[in-house]
Every structure is written in structure tokens, then in C-alpha cells.
């Protein structure tokens, strides 16, 4: 029996991408034929990097991982996924708070678009890593170097005028 090609979309803000996101990505890519990391362009008040800067960083970080594409998108995630022929949305989970929110989101997406969501639990060491906290801590001068790849750390320093 021939199996159908399965493409997943891993959507998020990725402002910036963290070691936690990359952990989920590396586990996820093994499950699908290919995977698109989709950076949302929706305007959020507290964003730090522009969508294009986020896409550039991610492209650089995943360039050696086969089967991973990176793009930005605007509008509804489910419409974007359909336009790309993706049958799965990939999301990461850190804790019970994520589960509650993600459960609601996944049920809504399945109800409006019939798309399935696959969840991957992050490695324990990234269970507390969030882009929002990284932005806040870095802005106040804290050391976030263990939570993000070196390339992201450098861009963050530049962005905050420290290099």
C-alpha cells in the first residue's frame, strides 16, 4: 500500500526561535515527509524581531536539516496550511497551561477546517523556555544564552544595541 505524502506546518510567532522550538522541530521532522516552519505575520504589540528577521534566523539554523522549509504567513493558520497542502499542524507542549490553550485551538482548527494537530512534548530542560520571557529578561540585561542558539543570541544583542 502506498502511503500518502504527509506535510506538516509548525506555526508560531518565533519571536525569537528558542532551543525549545528547535527541540520540537527536530523531533517533529522525523514524523513527516516535510515540514514548514510558518512564522505568523500578524501584528503583535510587543514583537521584537520583524517577521523577515525571524525567518532569516530560522533559515540559517535549519539549513542542514533535510525536509524543513521556512516561510512567513498572514491570516488564518488553517487556510495557510490548506494552501500548502499540509494535512497536519505541529505544536509544542511545555506544561498544563499550554495543554489547555492548545486543546481549544486544536479543536477549533479541526472543527473549522478538518485539520489534525500533532503535539510534541518538549525536553524537560526547555519546559520553562518562552520567547516572551526571553525578550523580557534579555531587555533587562539578564543572560539568556542557554535558552537560545548562539546565532539568535548575537542577533538579540545587536537588536538591543549591545554589540
Q: What is the contact surface with ligand ADP in residues (CB under 6 A)?
A: 12-14, 18, 20-21, 24, 91-92, 94, 98, 122, 126, 129-131
Which residue in the shown chain puts its C-beta closest to ligand ADP? 20
- Measured from the CB of residue 158, what is the shortest distance to ligand ADP in angstroms? 20
Cell 493558520 appears where? 77
Q: Which is it for the CA torsion 146, 151, 154, 156, positive or negative? A: negative
Three-state DSSP at 107 gives helix
Asked if 151 and 57 touch (Cβ cutoff 8 Å), the reply is yes
Q: Which is nearer to ligand ADP, 18 or 109 (CB)?
A: 18
- Measured from the CB of residue 98, what is the shortest distance to ligand ADP in angstroms? 5
Q: Which is nearer to ligand ADP, 5 or 95 (CB)?
A: 95
Q: Which is nearer to ligand ADP, 13 or 109 (CB)?
A: 13
Q: Which is nearer to ligand ADP, 5 or 103 (CB)?
A: 103
Q: Kindly give, in sequence order, each residue whose CB lies less than 8 Å from that of residue 2, ignoring residues fewer than 6 positions away.
A: none
Q: Catalytic residue positions? A: 21, 45, 94, 131
- Measured from the CB of residue 123, what is the shortest distance to ligand ADP in angstroms? 8
Residues facing residue 35 across a β-bridge: 8, 68
Cα–Cα distance measured from residue 99 to residue 150, given in angstroms and rounded to the nearest whole number: 29
- Measured from the CB of residue 101, what is the shortest distance to ligand ADP in angstroms? 8
What is the secondary structure of 47-70 as a DSSP string? --S-HHHHHHHHHHHHTTSTTEEE
Amino acid at each position: 500500500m502506498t502511503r500518502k505524502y504527509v506535510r506538516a506546518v509548525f506555526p508560531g510567532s518565533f519571536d525569537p526561535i528558542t532551543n525549545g522550538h528547535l527541540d520540537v522541530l527536530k523531533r517533529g521532522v522525523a514524523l513527516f515527509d516535510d515540514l514548514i516552519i510558518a512564522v505568523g505575520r500578524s501584528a503583535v504589540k510587543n514583537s521584537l524581531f520583524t517577521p523577515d528577521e525571524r525567518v532569516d534566523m530560522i533559515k540559517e539554523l535549519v539549513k542542514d536539516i533535510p525536509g524543513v522549509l521556512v516561510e512567513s504567513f498572514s491570516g488564518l493558520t488553517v487556510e495557510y496550511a490548506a494552501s500548502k497542502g499540509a494535512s497536519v499542524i505541529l505544536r509544542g507542549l511545555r506544561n498544563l497551561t499550554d495543554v489547555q490553550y492548545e486543546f481549544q485551538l486544536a479543536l477549533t482548527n479541526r472543527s473549522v477546517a478538518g485539520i489534525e494537530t500533532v503535539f510534541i512534548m518538549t525536553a524537560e530542560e526547555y519546559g520553562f523556555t518562552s520567547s516572551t520571557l526571553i525578550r523580557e529578561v534579555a531587555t533587562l540585561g539578564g543572560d539568556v544564552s542557554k535558552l537560545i542558539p548562539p546565532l539568535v543570541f548575537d542577533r538579540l544583542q545587536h537588536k538591543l544595541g549591545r554589540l
